[in-house]
Structure formats: C-alpha cells, structure tokens
Amino acid sequence: MGANRLSGRANVKAPSQASNRRLLEVHRALIPVALIAEAVETLGDLLGAAGAPREIELDQRVTALAVSDRRRLGAVYDAMRETAVFRSIVTCEPLLAAARAATGARRLHSPFQHCVFRMALAGESWRGFGWHQDYPYNFLSEDFVTAWLPLTPAGPHNGSIDAAPTASDRIYPVQIRFKRDASSASLGTRDAFICERFHAAFEAEATKLELDPGDVALFHNRLVHRSGRNPGPRHRYSIQARFGDLLADEIAARDWRNRRSDGFDAFKQLHPDLVEYEEAS
C-alpha cells in the first residue's frame, strides 16, 4: 500500500466525465485549538462519568471501559455527539467556509444525523468501514462533501483513512449488508460497501491520510475510502460532518430526501442498478 502523506494542498482532480469538484482537500489547522482541546477533555469526563478510572489517560480510560462495560462505552459514543462542543465544532465558521467553497453552495445543507463521532479502537477492525463512497450513505446534493477531522493525531500508527482518489471517477455498485461484530453477530444497522471485485484496484493506489488535531480532510462523496485498520496501541477519535448544497436542483426536486434513517431506500430508488445485493432483514 502506498504510504504517501497527502500534502496540505492535496488536490486530486476527477476524470472529466464526473464533476470537476476536488475529490480530496486537506485543510491544516482549520478547527480552533481550543475547541479540539475542549472536545478531548469532554470525552475524558464522559468516560470518567461512565465508570472509567479518572486517574489514567484517555486511551486507557477507553480500554478500561471497553473491557469492563462495553454497553456504557456505546452510551459515551452517543452522548459525545450530543455535547455542545461537538455542535460547536461541526458548525464553526472556518469549517463552514471551507465546506461552502468545496461544494459551491450559497446555503449549506448539513443534516445533523450525518454528523458523527467515531472511536476506532485498536485492533477492532470489524467496526471499521470497508471500501465505500459516501454518496449512498448520506445522499445529499450531487457534490456534497464529508469533513473528516481527528481529535488526536491520525496516521499509520492508528489506521487513519485509506483513500483511492484516482479510482474515484464514478459511483460503484454496492452490496448492502448488516454490520457485524467480531463473532459475526448482526449489529442491526447496515453498510453499503463497494463490491469486492473492485477492491484490488483500490488497494493498488491506496493512500493513507495523516492528519493532526485541528486538520480537516474534505472528501467529495465520490471519493473511494475505508477505515484503515488500527494496529494499536493508540485508539483513534474523529468527527465527521457532511455538507451539501441546500439549493441544488436535484436535492430540492426530491424534497431534500436523504438518508434519514438506517437503510438505503432513497439511493436504491434512484439507482436500482447500483445495488448488486441486499441482505434480507
């Protein structure tokens, strides 16, 4: 796998048959340092309130809670997304300005259900996302973007994100399957990963993002990417938000319908040809 560090000005153009918006931009030090610090402290406090020992550092608190009470760790994921600092980050003006520039939107569309907090725990690759594009997942306007921002350094040491920009010239067919844990038990919600026959081409050009806290990667929804496997021992903490063009013809024409709950119904209706398989519920 390629180990290129994407530079601050990464700008990979899509082939001409697709939209000419940038597939991937990395903005260094975009999010105010104080907001990142507050988010990390808030996460530490949440873990403490959930029962993790307060005298140990962040990663150790997460590991301790994952071992002692996995369900409580799940509650911390959800609560983190409900904090004021989370909202402050996904609505901070530098991020919105970058999103407006990347999408060309005069008015941004950013449904809150598509703003997520993630912990990629060391060694838990079953929780990661396989090769996918965000288009079916969020289903906003044609040129919508994902903002991916780490709260602690992200790189090969904790997996980060693998991206395959030059293969991102079209929307690929997907297989819709239930998420499963390490023992293959269904987790109830679904994924739409790209069909396996394309993976070798993605692997051949995969590039790993290296980002510091405060940096933001903006991906076009067509960017093929996946969660890099976190070898540990550090966990990875990140926030993702999605931004589309509220006034784009295609989203207005479908009454702003996007992926409002689990499932890929709106995507399936528009692109039945791109769903190669769907696991029965």
Ligand X SMILES: O=C(O)CCC(=O)C(=O)O
Q: Are 212 and 150 in contact (CB under 8 A)?
A: yes
**Pattern of binders to ligand X over 38-57, x per CB under 6 A?**
--------------------
Amino acid found at 231: P
Q: Residue 109 or residue 225: which is nearer to ligand X going by CB?
A: 225
Q: What residues numbered 88-147 form the site for ligand X, per CB under 6 A?
A: 118, 120, 128-129, 134, 146
3-class SS at 280? coil
Within positions 206 to 225, which residues make up the interface with ligand X, using CB under 6 A? 225
Among 110, 141, 158, 238, binds ligand X (CB under 6 A): 238
Give the span between the Cα atoms of 77 and 86, in whole angstroms.
11
Strand partners, 176: 192, 278
Beta carbons of 37 and 56 less than 8 angstroms apart = no
Interface residue with ligand X among 240, 244, 245, 248 (CB under 6 A) is 240
Q: Which is nearer to ligand X, 21 or 225 (CB)?
A: 225
Q: How many CA atoms lie within 13 A of 231 on its CB side?
A: 3
Residue 122, φ and ψ in degrees, nearest 5 = -50, 130
**34 or 232: whose CB is closer to ligand X?**
232
Least distance from C-beta 259 to ligand X, angstroms? 12
Q: Are 165 and 12 in contact (CB under 8 A)?
A: yes
The candidate with the shortest Cα–Cα distance to 232, out of 182, 159, 162, 163, is 159
Evaluate whether 125 touches 230 at the Cβ level (below 8 Å): yes
* Residue selected from 227, 234, 251, 259 as contacting ligand X according to rule CB under 6 A: 227
In the bound state with ligand X, the residue whose beta carbon lies nearer, of 53 and 259, is 259
CB of 114 to ligand X, least distance (A): 9
Minimum separation from the CB atom of position 242 to ligand X (A) = 8
User: What CA–CA distance (Å, rounded) separates 276 from 274?
Assistant: 6
- Residue 150 beta carbon to ligand X: minimum distance, rounded to whole angstroms: 9
- Shortest CB 229 distance to ligand X, Å: 10
Coil, helix or strand at residue 118: strand
CB nearer to ligand X: give 134 or 143.
134
Sequence-ordered alpha helix ranges (H) in 147-277? 199-205, 249-253, 265-270
CB of 167 to ligand X, least distance (A): 15
Strands 236-245 and 108-109: antiparallel
The contact mask relative to ligand X for 160-179 (x = CB under 6 A, - = no) is -x------------------
Closest contact distance (angstroms) between CB of 124 and ligand X is: 11
Residues that bind ligand X (CB under 6 A): 118, 120, 128-129, 134, 146, 161, 225, 227, 238, 240
